[in-house]
């Protein structure tokens, strides 16, 4: 073996590799799930805003008039 591959150094390298794998795995999950979670939240906000707007509009506004047909 080479000089750097002593028992103490090899242990630190294995610990660093294990921590790197854990951090990388966590980052991969966050990178995959975060856009999905944000998109669902945005869709829910849009639905609530659209529903609130249409409800407020129909409660206070008169019904739309029939279209004028010009022949």
Residue 49 domain flag? yes
Largest CA distance in the chain: 97
Domain total for the chain?
A: 1
pLDDT of residue 60: 62
Cα→Cα distances 28→15, 24, 25, 65, Å: 20, 6, 5, 55
Q: What is the reported pLDDT for 34? A: 92
Determine the structural domain holding residue 23 and report its residue range.
13-58
Length of the chain: 71
Helices (H) and strands (E) in the chain, counts: 1, 0
Which pLDDT tens digits describe the chain residue by residue (71 residues)? 566 667 788 899 999 999 999 999 999 999 999 999 999 999 999 999 888 756 555 556 666 666 666 66
Residue 69 is predicted with a pLDDT of 65
Q: Is residue 51 in a domain? A: yes
- How much is the pTM? 0.50
Tokens in use for 41? 């939240």
Structural tokens at position 25: 């795995």
Q: What is the pLDDT of residue 50?
A: 87
Q: Is residue 39 part of a domain?
A: yes
């Amino acid at each position: 073996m080479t000089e750097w591959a002593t028992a103490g150094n090899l242990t630190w390298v294995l610990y660093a590799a294990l921590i790197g794998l854990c951090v990388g795995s966590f980052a991969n999950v966050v990178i995959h799930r975060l856009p999905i979670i944000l998109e669902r939240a945005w869709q829910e906000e849009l639905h609530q805003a659209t529903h609130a707007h249409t409800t407020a509009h129909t409660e206070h506004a008169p019904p739309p008039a029939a279209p004028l047909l010009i022949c």
